[in-house]
Structure 1
Amino acid sequence: MKILSGIKRYELYVWLAPAFLLLNLLGDIVEHRSDFPQRAVNETWLACYVIVMNYRLLEYTLPGMSLKRFFRSVLLILPYFFSYSLGLFLWRALGVTLHIYTVLDNTLTIDKRIGTLTGYSIGSIIFFSVVRHIYNHIKLKQSAQELLIASQQAELNYLRSQTNPHFLFNTLNNIYSLARDKSDLAPESILRLSKILRYMLYETSAAYAAIEQEIKIIDDYIELEKLRYDESLHVNFNHDLEDRKQALPPLLLIPLVENAFKHGVSETRDRPSVNIHLSVKNRVLLFIVENSTGDAAGNVSLKENIGLSNLRRQLALLYTSYSLDTRPGDFTFTATLKINLDSHV
């Protein structure tokens, strides 16, 4: 991990060093100096020194300093006062000796020259410190965003893992009722359940599924539920879709249908019914599920079951523009889901 961190720090200075050098050269270009080629070589020679010193100072020395070790921190920082002043002057002198650095002004005294080089060093420290701080801040925000996305994805997977067993448990209960009554419809219900299981095993792991696949699952689930009732049950499922291949998170709609049967139709004694409408127009999904209930509006408890609360949390993780309204009426219960599909996170 430390090696990786060091590589990342080095990569920052790979592009930061040329930027610092270019910034200094731009000043010479603006002044239209005739000795620009010599100044460019001089700037490059000095930049090599201050870049290395800034790298050591900002990436190794300063991170190791703390108030708890005050005297140790002072001892660590003191050599840099020498390095950024007299040290840079000696580096310049080495360049002159090697005929790399060209002396362009012989009128400056040593004191003034050291002062000028010290100012150059301080400017480089400010430049590297500010850019490094901005870079680290951006990287920190990116890491936080990536962590948030990973956390939300983990929560979404957990919610889906809750939805699937909950949905499967209720379906198995339906088949159990048929098997207990030794109904001839039990084999057909098992066949429909196998289709649902196949979908849950092979399709729901993906982030999206075609909305026509969701419709098939809803149809199979409705037929499974209808096997439990006689002809008194009325179910109407209609849909108006601009594109049947429209992508949708898998099993997002089924909790509302499941809720209509488990907490509505099953408690209705007279003329049970479920009316379902699904439409997608201009990238806006509208899903309305209305079911009969066994109670008048004043007697209906507004406490949501795990299926609806789970669905609300999934919607919050998946979309920024949506609404899920539940409205109890006289012996009816209506759930309305509206989603702007373009608002997917």
Structure 2
Amino acid sequence: MKKLSDIKRYQLYIWLVPAFLLLNLVADVIDDRTDFPRRVVNEIWLVSYLSVVNYYLLEYTLPKLSWKRFVSSFLRLFLYVFIFSLGFYIWRYIGLSLHIFSALGTPVSMEQRIGILIGYSLKSVAFFGIIRHIYNYIKLKQDTQQLRIASQQAELNYLKSQTNPHFLFNTLNNIYSLARDKSDLAPESILRLSKILRYMLYETSSPYTAVEQDLKIIEDYVALEKLRYDDSLRINFNYDLEDMKQSLPPLLLIPLVENAFKHGVSETREQPFVDIHLSIKNRQLLFIVKNSTGDRAGETNTKENIGLSNLRRQLQLLYTDYQLKVLPGDYIFTATLQINLASHA
């Protein structure tokens, strides 16, 4: 079975050969030469020879040339000098002998005829070589782009494979603390966890989901976290969305909410709170998560955890116009995410 690369090379020459033939015929028309039908046959005869020779020159001979094999490379090129000159003349003579090629115009000497045919050959080499180079350049850019997309998708999948278990691990810790204390809220927490798991199993495999789906998961997660605290925890979750069906990468927002509870509220001794605001207008997303902390601004460890670092990398891969700011304050931590949803990479 032929290699795919060979098939693609054949496809290139399938349209490249007629294009070169058409170019020569157009030149004949411009020169207003007589006997145009016979010239068409002559051009077909000459182009058929040069097409085969150029194919083997460009696809097999030139790629194998090397300074390490200088002698053999020189002999190969010298052979093509013969093929494009005297060999081309012999091909023309064979056409005359078979009454396929017609001698048109003023008779010239053999040396002059070979010189004319060499010019014809060089024109064909330039045409086939330049077009082939442009084709390979475009194909290389397309292959590079496809490889980049595949690489980015693989990295996104890897980041999701890290984020989801990390998120699940923290959630299980919450349920464990309730079960350890033999809390009556443990069954409710397991029910909410089952909803989150169902979403992670069946919805996060697709690249996008409706923003309302992520809102439900955030609400379930917030409710699950709230079970661990008494009435002293104040939670404010509000949103303003033009379209609840607006598409968004699944679980993109959850790391900021998770971070607010795990590294903020859990370390706050007095008046813990979490404020969450989401708005999407004219495809501009604004997501603000503000939470209490147990430290002053200068005492806060600004090193990002796996959730925030993964979020930053996902944003780099998904969008070209976004901004993620984390601002430690006095006993307050604010994370602000802005995305132009139309700037998808």
Q: TM-score, normalised by structure 1?
A: 0.98
What corresponds to 1:278 in structure 2? 278
The equivalent of 1:314 in structure 2 is 314
Corresponding residue of 1:95: 95
Is 1:12 the counterpart of 2:12? The answer is yes
1:74 maps onto 2:74 in alignment: yes
Q: How far is 1:296 from its partner?
A: 1.6
1:58-84 C-alpha deviation (Å, 9 max, x unpaired): 111112221111111122222211111
- Counterpart in the other structure of 2:330: 330
Structure 2: tracts of 5 or more residues without a match: none
1:34 & 1:326 partners in 2: Cα distance? 80
Corresponding residue for 1:191? 191
- For the residue of structure 1 that corresponds to 2:3, the secondary structure is helix
Corresponding residue for residue 258 of structure 2: 258
Q: Are residues 1:41 and 2:41 paired?
A: yes
**1:173-222: CA deviations, max 9, x gaps?**
00000000000000000000000000001110100010000000000000
Query: For the residues of structure 1 that align with 2:270 and 2:171, how far apart are their CA atoms?
Result: 23
What residue number does 2:297 align with? Answer: 297
Deviation string 1:57-115 (CA, Å, 9 cap, x unpaired) is 11111122211111111222222111111111111112222222121124211111111
For the pair 1:154 / 2:154, whether they are aligned, the reply is: yes
* Comparing 249-258 and 302-311, the one that deviates more: 302-311
What amino acid is aligned across from residue 330 of structure 2 in structure 1? D
Query: How large is the RMSD of aligned CA atoms in angstroms?
Result: 1.2
Alignment partner of 1:65 is 2:65: yes
Separation in 2, partners of 1:253, 1:29 = 67
Q: Report the alpha carbon displacement of residue 2 of structure 1 after superposing the two structures with TM.
A: 6.9
Shift of 1:250: 0.5
CA distance in structure 1 between the aligned counterparts of 2:285 and 2:245, rounded to whole angstroms: 13
1:66-145 matched pairs, under 5 angstroms: 66-145=66-145
Q: State the Cα deviation string for residues 29-55 of structure 1 (Å, max 9, x = none).
A: 222323222222211110000000000
1:236 aligns with 2:231: no
Work out the CA distance in 1 between the residues paired with 2:10 and 2:62. 16
Q: C-alpha separation between the residues in 2 aligned to 1:3 and 1:247? A: 41
3-state secondary structure, aligned to 1:343: coil
The amino acid that maps onto 1:126 is: A
Q: Which residue of 1 aligns with 2:169?
A: 169
Give distance in 1, aligned partners of 2:196 and 2:159.
Answer: 18
Q: Secondary structure at the match of 1:244?
A: coil
Amino acid at match of 2:171: T
Match of 1:182 in 2: 182
1:246 and 2:246 are equivalent in the alignment: yes
Amino acid in structure 2 at the alignment position of 1:108: V
Q: How many residues align?
A: 345
Per-residue CA distance 1:130-178 (angstroms, 9 max, x = gap)? 1111111111111111111111111111001000000000000000000
Matched with 1:55 is 55
Name the counterpart of 2:3: 3
Aligned equivalents of 1:206, 1:307: Cα separation in 2: 20
TM-score (norm 2): 0.98
168-177 or 57-66, which deviates more: 57-66
Q: Which amino acid aligns with 1:279?
A: S
State the alpha-carbon separation in 1 of the partners of residues 82 and 67 from structure 2.
22
User: 274-283 or 137-146, which moves further after superposition?
Assistant: 137-146
Partners of 1:106 and 1:314 lie apart in 2 by: 72
Hey, what does 2:287 align to over in structure 1? 287
Alpha-carbon distance between aligned partners in 1 of 2:80 and 2:2, rounded to the nearest angstrom: 25
Displacement after TM superposition at 1:298 (Å): 2.0
Q: 4+ residue stretches of structure 1 with deviation over 6 A? A: none
Deviation by residue 1:243-287 (Cα, 9 ceiling, x = unmatched): 101110010000000000001100111111101000100011100
CA distance in 2, matches of 1:303, 1:25: 71
3-state DSSP class of the match of 2:121? helix
Distance 2:225 2:2 in 1: 59
